Amino acid sequence: MYAIISVGNRQYKVTQDQEFLTEKTGKNAGESFDAKVLLFAESSNKVHIGQPELKTARVSLQILEDVKGDKIHGYVYKRRKNYQKTWGHRQQLQKVKVVSLSAV
C-alpha cells in the first residue's frame, strides 16, 4: 500500500514505516500530525484518486528530528567594478516517519 501526500509545497510517495526528509513544518521533534492533503492511495489493488484530494483516507506522520540540508554556496561578481560577494545557505529540514496509512 502506498499513497501520494502533500506536505508543505512538495508531494511525496510514501509507504508504511517509511522515513523521508521534508521542509520544516513548524512543529517540534516528537510531535505527530496528519497529512492535510492526500492526493492518491493504492491498497490491495484498489486505486483511490482524489479530485482534488481524498477526504476519507488518513496518513499519520511523526517528526523524528530536525536536520539541516547540505550547504549551498553562491558567488556573484561584476567585471571591472571590483565587486564580488559570496553567500551560503543550509535549508532547515525535518526527518518524518509514516506511522499509519489507511485508505478507506
- Which grid coordinates are listed for 28? 517540534
What's the pTM?
0.81
Whether pLDDT at 103 is above 80: no
User: ω into residue 52 within 30 of 0, thus cis?
Assistant: yes
CB 104 within 8 Å of CB 1: no
Per-residue confidence (pLDDT) for residue 55, from 0 to 100: 86
Q: Per DSSP, what are the bridge partners of residue 73?
A: 88
Whether pLDDT at 38 is above 90: no
What percent of the chain is modeled with pLDDT above 70? 99
Q: What is the overall mean pLDDT for the chain? A: 92
Indicate the SS3 state at residue 17. Answer: coil
- Number of domains composing the chain: 1
90 phi/psi in degrees, rounded to 5: -125, 120
Q: Which residue has the higher pLDDT, 43 or 91?
A: 91
Tens of pLDDT, residue by residue over 2-16, are: 899 999 889 999 999
Can you give the residue range of the structural domain that contains 77?
2-102
Whether pLDDT at 104 is above 70: no
